[in-house]
Amino acid sequence: MLESITPLLSDPAAWAALVTLVVMEVVLGIDNLIFISILSNKLPPEHRQRTRRIGIGLALIMRLGLLATIGWIVGLTAPVFDLGFHGETFDTAFSWRDLILIAGGLFLVWKATKEIHHAVDVTPTNDMLEKDKKDAVLNNVGAAIVQIILLDLVFSVDSILTAVGMTDHVPIMMIAVVFAVLCMLLAADPLANFIDKNPTVVMLALGFLLMIGAVLIADGFGVHVPKGYIYAAMAFSAMVEGLNMLSRRSAARKAAAEQAHQDQLNKAETAEPGV
């Protein structure tokens, strides 16, 4: 391993590829991190951090394991069966990668739709991941970890195949994955806490997951949507929501100041007869 890394240290192209891959892996990891945050926030508070760390740790192990079998991963792009339709923007020659993306996209669409329904309809249900269901904590944690693993697999295959198109050096890919996962680990708790304290952000994040699921399904069918458009839309939506949050906080401060002023006037009026 060291023998393969040492020559790369003096190669500017290798450093450029490493920086590019780290940035790409961090950006691609946002989807995974949002899903992990929403899922872990449905658990009792004392189990959330541990579940997030387990999920992110499993993501690292899975990606490094897949990189160790890079030849097999690349083979996932070979067509498995063909329904015979080939267009410029649509293709029915499906590979294992396509099937994994379609399955992962369907899962994300189903999960995001289900969580949106739960957010809109607050009537308690028998869902395994209901916050108020305290008698099945172990099952809750286990169910969350299983779902995190399923999405880790989808995102890992997608990110690794993207990385293969950028460099042929497996050590560079591994270093980039480790850096990206460390960034995810550092950002996991602040992001999860922020989402948990802002209900409107939860709905926005669920909308992101719904869109990402639709994009994964489209990608599986050969309709390739540039990821730059997706992340630009997400960034714009997040900026608008940030402005809405600032507006609500400003209105709340103004209302509090007006209430304090009114309270002072009421106290002054009450004190006047006794003067």
pLDDT tens figures, 106-118 = 888 888 888 788 7
Report CA-CA distances (Å) from 9 to 6, 112, 268.
5, 43, 74
> What does the pLDDT average to over 254-268?
82
pLDDT at residue 9 tops 60: no
Buried (b) or exposed (e) across 172-197, using 16+ Cβ within 10 A?
bbbbbbebbbeebbebbeebbeebbe
Note the pTM of the prediction, 2 decimals.
0.68
pLDDT at residue 259 tops 50: yes
Contact in structure between 175 and 8 (CB atoms under 8 Å)? no
Residues linked to residue 93 through DSSP beta bridges, in sequence order:
82
> What does the pLDDT average to over 47-64?
84
99: left (phi over 0), alpha (psi -120 to 50) or beta: alpha
pLDDT at 252: 83
Q: Report the alpha-carbon distance of residue 62 to residue 150 in Å, rounded.
A: 11
Q: Report the alpha-carbon distance of residue 2 to residue 136 in Å, rounded.
A: 47
The three-class DSSP label of residue 95 is: strand
pLDDT band for 90, please (50, 70, 90 cuts): low
Q: Report the alpha-carbon distance of residue 258 to residue 235 in Å, rounded.
A: 35
Crossing angle of helices 227-271 and 199-220, in 10° steps, is: 170
pLDDT at residue 126 tops 60: no
pLDDT at 79: 76
pLDDT at 30: 78
> What does the pLDDT average to over 230-243?
84
pLDDT at residue 72 tops 80: no
Q: Between residues 247 and 15, which one has the greater pLDDT?
A: 247
With 0-12 / 13-18 / 19 or more C-beta atoms within 10 angstroms meaning exposed / middle / buried, residue 150 is middle
> What does the pLDDT average to over 151-168?
72
Contact in structure between 67 and 168 (CB atoms under 8 Å)? no
pLDDT at residue 227 tops 50: yes
Report CA-CA distances (Å) from 184 to 59, 177, 178, 181, 189.
10, 10, 10, 5, 9
pLDDT at residue 138 tops 60: no
